[in-house]
Amino acid sequence: MTLGDTAVTWLVKTQFSEAHPQVSPDGRLLAYISDRSGRREVYVQPLSGSGVPAQVSSEGATSPRWSRDSRTVFYVSAANSIIGATIGPGAGIAIVKRTEIASRLGLDLNPPNVNWDLFPDDKPLVIDGSGGQGKRRMALVQNWPAIARALGDGAKR
């Protein structure tokens, strides 16, 4: 529904479980999770509801978020990493590249828990859920790629 509408227009209506809808900033695409493959994965389709949904993730995922330029959909993988999937130009929805943005996160992967988001510059903000009930911490970590590279090179924390 849009403001002022009185009728509901279904964009996704299947026998599967769908959740976490996210409209791209340019208003063209809709990202969401669905279990149509047998497990929760991220899908993208035109916001108009026409066309075939494109499966973005492939090994289980949740919590999609859009880049500010609407060219990348980020999601949390089943391996507890944030992945950025770049959508190619043109009319169709084709994933041209997947990039791991951050790994080994303490994210809660069970919807409706969404404990991460993106800053306006598309860097992730994560609430660490590893401390147990009532002991959650929020940490702002800047320059994730450099930290991930340093950890990958065996650098000490």
Which whole number is the average pLDDT over 37-49? 87
Q: What is the pLDDT of residues 100-132, one digit of tens each?
A: 887 766 665 555 556 677 777 777 767 665 555
Res 7 pLDDT > 80: no
3-state secondary structure of 81: coil
Asked if residues 1 and 11 have their Cβ atoms less than 8 Å apart, the reply is: no
Task: Let me know if residue 143 belongs to a domain.
Answer: yes
Q: What is the pLDDT of residue 155?
A: 46
Residue 1 domain flag: no
3 found inside a domain = no
44 inside domain: yes
List of residues 6+ apart from 99 with CB closer than 8 A: 83, 84, 86
Q: Name the pLDDT band for 41 (thresholds 50, 70, 90).
A: very high
Q: Is there a domain that residue 101 lies in? A: yes
CA nearest to 103, candidates 125, 79, 121: 79
- Other Cβ atoms less than 10 A from the Cβ of 115: the count is 18
Residue-level pLDDT at 156: 46
Nearest to 73 by CA among 111, 137, 9, 61: 61
Instruction: Give residue 67's pLDDT.
Output: 92
**Residue 84: inside a domain:** yes
Is the pLDDT at 63 greater than 80? The verdict is yes
Note whether 65 and 83 are within 8 A (CB): no
pLDDT band at 148 (very low <50, low <70, confident <90, very high): confident
Most confident of 49-53, 67-71, 80-84, 144-148: 67-71
Structural domains counted in the chain = 1
C-alpha to C-alpha distance for 124 and 103, rounded to whole angstroms: 11
Mean pLDDT score of the chain, rounded to an integer?
A: 78
We report the CATH number of the domain holding residue 55 as 2.120.10.30
Q: Which stretch, 9-13, 52-56, 108-112, 146-150, has highest mean pLDDT?
A: 52-56
Residue 25's pLDDT band, with cuts at 50, 70 and 90, is: very high
User: Is residue 97 pLDDT above 50, yes or no?
Assistant: yes
Is 157 a domain residue? no
**Domain assignment of residue 99, given as a range:** 18-152
Where are the extended beta strands (E) located within the chain?
18-23, 29-34, 41-46, 54-55, 61-66, 72-77, 82-87, 95-102, 116-118, 124-128, 137-139
Q: Is residue 138 part of a domain?
A: yes
